Amino acid sequence: MSQSNTTMNLTMYRISSWLKSPKPYLMFIGFGFVLSFWYFSVEVWKLPRFQDMPALTEVLEEWFSKDPYYGLSVYTPEYYKHIGISLRRIAYAFCLATALGVPLGLFLGWSQKLREYIFPLFELLRPIPVLAWVPLAIIMFSGSETPVIFLTFLASFFATTLNTMLGVESIDEEYSRAAYCLGASRWQTFVHVVVPGAMPYIFTGLQISIGVAWFSLVAGEMVSGQYGLGYIINTAYIMVQYSQIIIGMITLGLFGYITSALVRVAGDYMMQWRVRELALGGD
Amino acid sequence: MSTLEKNDSMPTTGAIRIEDVVKVYDPDGAAVMAVDHCSIDIPAGEICMIVGPSGCGKTTLLNTIAGFHGLTSGHIYLDDEVLCGPGKEKAEPGSDRIVVFQNGALFPWKTNLDNIAFGPMMEGKLSKAEIYDKARRMMVDAGLEGTEDSYPGEVSSGLRRRVEIVRALMNEPKVLLFDEPYRALDSLTKSVMHEALLDIYYKNKVTIFFITHDLEEAIFLGHRLIIMSSRPCKPKKIVEVDIPHPRDYSVLTSPRFREIMNEAKGVVNEEARKAFEAGEKEG
Amino acid sequence: MTINKFLSKLSGRAALRGVIAIVIFIAIWEFGSRSLDLIGWRMPFVGLIPPPSDVLASWTGLFMEPSYWQSWYMSFLRVFTGFIVAMIVGIPLGLYMAINRTFYGIAFPSFEILRPIPPLAWVPASIIFWPTQEMSIAFVTFLGAFYTIVINVLGGASSINRQYLQAAQSMGASQRSLWVPVKETSLGVSSYLQPCPQLWWVQQ
């Protein structure tokens, strides 16, 4: 298909021009700064507060050792088990939140009447911090998995719905007017104008939503979970295995970034028109 | 009326009669009259140019004909049928009166071809194959061959305007409503667009209601100029353009063109100065 | 004029609809949580939680306790401190990244890598590092607001029309005074405050 060809070409072009620019080198310089600051402050200069922190070498050793002292490294299956469980929870919560939040957001943005009924209630519930729901979640749902997934779902759901609704409201009125002129009914306008028009905003919302999902997941896992990355971090702290804390944090950062990038890529794929428009206009 | 050659295959439908229309806005209790007892008679197939200073209410009039909002009093008739009047203050937008918007309302998420096919697809009267066939033919006719599978964001703004006009014509409307469509184009592109519009008009005779600031554009395109007063808008002077159709750019330097220009210019400038002093925002 | 508008909005149809939905919500909650007593069948999920009337009763009791207000005050302080520090650090950082391309190239990728780590994951590290509990709480709050502030500043600063900057430069402004467009960056401050309350809650 000629469409995917052009996108492929554009992506390759952008990657190669990025490689030729100073950007990759600056990036590594930046990483270098951060890592060396960590290394020096903890191990070499032994700055007052820093010296109690786990050291870079210690963490790296532990993370990549075949027989880790505390039990978690890239070679142990437990590590991947915890990652897998966290990812699974995120998947359930995020997918459910998207499946419920996007349609709700679309309808809230589209129908004035619905918005007047539901939005105030929504805005009352939304600011309640996720963790405040923990006790209720434990009471309401049996088992140990469901409360955690529920909490993650909740945060994700509010973010998705809100952003979708705002997206619909941001669509230029002229598009729906044009549709009506051309003979489209209200429902047809909703499907052909509102839904595609809101897509860019929906995907921005989804990126926020997945960030929020990880946030809540860690909170939930720290408090009431039995497995998962949040659980690792919490346990490592309790059992004074500080290098594990860092391993957990880095893994979280890595997978948080990957999942967010996946959402972004999915968005780019679904919105070919925008990718091409931006490629020609921007940069 | 002598400018319209009655025996020159003029359409029989599409006559607009605006009768004593008043439109009053009521923002925050301070009534603002946008249209003041306006009466205009537009025969079928005429290119009627509405010229006036910024903010005088011309767009309001257009929006009322299109059905985007209602009038306060008066009648508007389309072919002797009431579009809107007392008891039915707001007309329904429909494909017999299609608007071409100032900033362009081509759907960025559909290809040019899909945009053009949109109207008939929504109405569902013809089969998909017939619609796309007709769409392709019309694109070739308008000189748009080759841009079918591009997105609006990828092509020039002049081309986008032409696609939008073809999109409007697909539904075979009785009236085309233009709201300063060429305002954002540079003057070179503008003159090309003018000839393109006339070309399309000669092949598809419709009534055209065209709002513009540009006197040259108005005289070049129109059968008649209706010069509006500053807000609230009311026809101040009607100028007949008796230069015969078909026209091309050589018309611009003809002596008759100069004469008409002189006739109109004084009035236009006077109204523009009034609007400037009143601090009107462009609308 | 605006007060009148506000008051008329409160009594308008939209407000009425919003109130109806909230009332229905509370009614379902009340009925559902008492469902076992009322109709002999426990409603799923809702049937297990305390009813709003009980909540209201204990809350009014709580109002009287000074410790309630004290904890409220302490939490507020922590959120506020974290937020202010996040602004002090984040806004200049964001602006500098927006202005200086080299600095952006160095700092932003590291920033982006650290950003997905949920602030809660920093809690243990924060407790180890900071001498007092107050500071460790404020640090976590700071993190929550910091990322959002920097991203928004970057977004705001980059959307300033290049022509304004060029006009300023041609009129002799030095690089420094270009930092003035902070007003462009004060978008949606409320969104920064959102993550903060989430975080101090953990620490409690």
pLDDT digits (tens, 9 = 90+) for B119-138: 899 888 888 999 999 999 98
Whole-number pLDDT of residue A219: 84
Q: How far is CA A196 from CA A202, B31, B185, in A?
A: 10, 38, 27
Position A160 confidence tier, pLDDT thresholds 50, 70, 90:
very high
C171 is a domain residue: yes
- Tell me how crowded residue B2 is: count the other CB atoms within 10 A of its CB: 8
Residues in chain A with CB shorter than 8 Å from the CB of B157 are none
pLDDT digits (tens, 9 = 90+) for B203-226: 888 899 999 988 889 999 988 999
- C27 and C49, same domain (yes or no): yes
Residue B260's closest CA among B282, B238, B275?
B238
pLDDT digits (tens, 9 = 90+) for C42-76: 667 776 777 777 778 777 777 777 787 888 888 88
- The tokens describing A23, both together, are 């950007």
Q: Kindly identify which residue of chain B lies nearest to residue A193, measuring between CA atoms.
A: B107
CB of A9 less than 8 A from some CB of B:
no
Residue B145 has pLDDT above 70, yes or no: yes
B50: enclosing H helix or E strand: strand B47-51
B166 is a domain residue: yes
Q: Please give the Cα distance from B67 to B45 (Å, whole number).
A: 20
pLDDT digits (tens, 9 = 90+) for C152-204: 787 776 666 555 666 666 665 444 444 444 443 443 344 444 444 444 444 33
> If you count residue pairs, one on A and one on B, with CB atoms under 8 Å apart, how many are there?
83
Q: What is the mean pLDDT of residues A23-50?
A: 80
| CB B282 within 8 Å of CB B102 | no
| CB B170 within 8 Å of CB B137 | no
To the nearest whole Å, the CA of B97 is away from the closest chain A CA by 7
Q: What is the mean pLDDT of residues C75-94?
A: 89
Q: What is the mean pLDDT of residues C69-86?
A: 86
The CATH number that applies at residue C93 is 1.10.3720.10
Q: What is the mean pLDDT of residues C133-150?
A: 86
CB of B159 less than 8 A from some CB of A:
no
C2 is a domain residue: no
Is B105 within 8 Å of A177 when comparing Cβ atoms?
yes
DSSP B82: E
- The tokens describing B178, both together, are 């233009």
Residue C138 has pLDDT above 80, yes or no: yes
B149: domain range? 97-172
Q: Please give the Cα distance from B184 to A4 (Å, whole number).
A: 33
**Mutate which of A182, A187, A191 to disrupt the B interface (most B C-beta within 10 Å)?**
A182
- The tokens describing A121, both together, are 């209630």
- C164 and C111, same domain (yes or no): yes
C1 is a domain residue: no
C5 is a domain residue: no
- C78 and C129, same domain (yes or no): yes
ipTM of the complex: 0.83
To the nearest whole Å, the CA of A184 is away from the closest chain B CA by 5
Residue C48's closest CA among A147, A129, A124, A122?
A147
B153 is a domain residue: yes
- The tokens describing A142, both together, are 């049996």
CB of A91 less than 8 A from some CB of B:
no
- C112 and C187, same domain (yes or no): yes
B199 is a domain residue: no
- C55 and C101, same domain (yes or no): no
- C95 and C138, same domain (yes or no): yes
- C129 and C195, same domain (yes or no): yes
Residue A61's closest CA among A43, A81, A41?
A43
Residues in chain A with CB shorter than 8 Å from the CB of C107 are 30
Whole-number pLDDT of residue C1: 55
Dihedral of CA A53/A57/A58/A61: which sign? Answer: positive
Helical ranges in chain B per DSSP H: 58-66, 112-123, 128-141, 157-170, 187-203, 215-221, 255-277
DSSP string of A12-51, one letter each residue = HHHHHHHHHSSHHHHHHHHHHHHHHHHHIIIIIS--TTGG
C67: enclosing H helix or E strand: helix C66-99
Residue B224's closest CA among B272, B174, B264, B277?
B264
Q: List the domain boundaries for chain A.
A: 1-53, 55-281
Whole-number pLDDT of residue B29: 66
Q: Please give the Cα distance from B98 to B15 (Å, whole number).
A: 14
B190 is a domain residue: no
pLDDT digits (tens, 9 = 90+) for B168-214: 988 888 899 998 888 878 888 888 888 888 888 888 888 999 999 88
Q: Kindly identify which residue of chain A lies nearest to residue B101, measuring between CA atoms.
A: A174
**Mutate which of C23, C48, C120 to disrupt the A interface (most A C-beta within 10 Å)?**
C120
C31: domain range? 11-64
User: Which of these three, C20, C40, C64, is where a domain ends?
Assistant: C64
Whole-number pLDDT of residue C168: 62
C51 is a domain residue: yes
- C32 and C116, same domain (yes or no): no
Residues in chain A with CB shorter than 8 Å from the CB of B93 are 177, 180-181
The average confidence (pLDDT) of chain B is 84
Position A103 confidence tier, pLDDT thresholds 50, 70, 90:
very high
> Does the domain at residues A55-281 carry the CATH identifier 1.10.260.40?
no
C201: enclosing H helix or E strand: helix C195-203
Report the number of distinct structural domains present in chain B. 1
Report the number of distinct structural domains present in chain C. 2
Is A276 within 8 Å of B153 when comparing Cβ atoms?
yes
Q: What is the mean pLDDT of residues B26-48?
A: 82
User: Assign residue B28 a region: left if phi > 0, alpha if psi is -120 to 50, beta otherwise?
Assistant: left
B125 is a domain residue: yes
Whole-number pLDDT of residue C197: 47
The average confidence (pLDDT) of chain A is 83
Q: Kindly identify which residue of chain B lies nearest to residue A195, measuring between CA atoms.
A: B109
Buried b (16+ CB within 10 A) or exposed e, B193-225: bbebbbebbeebbbbbbbbbbbbebbbbbbbbb
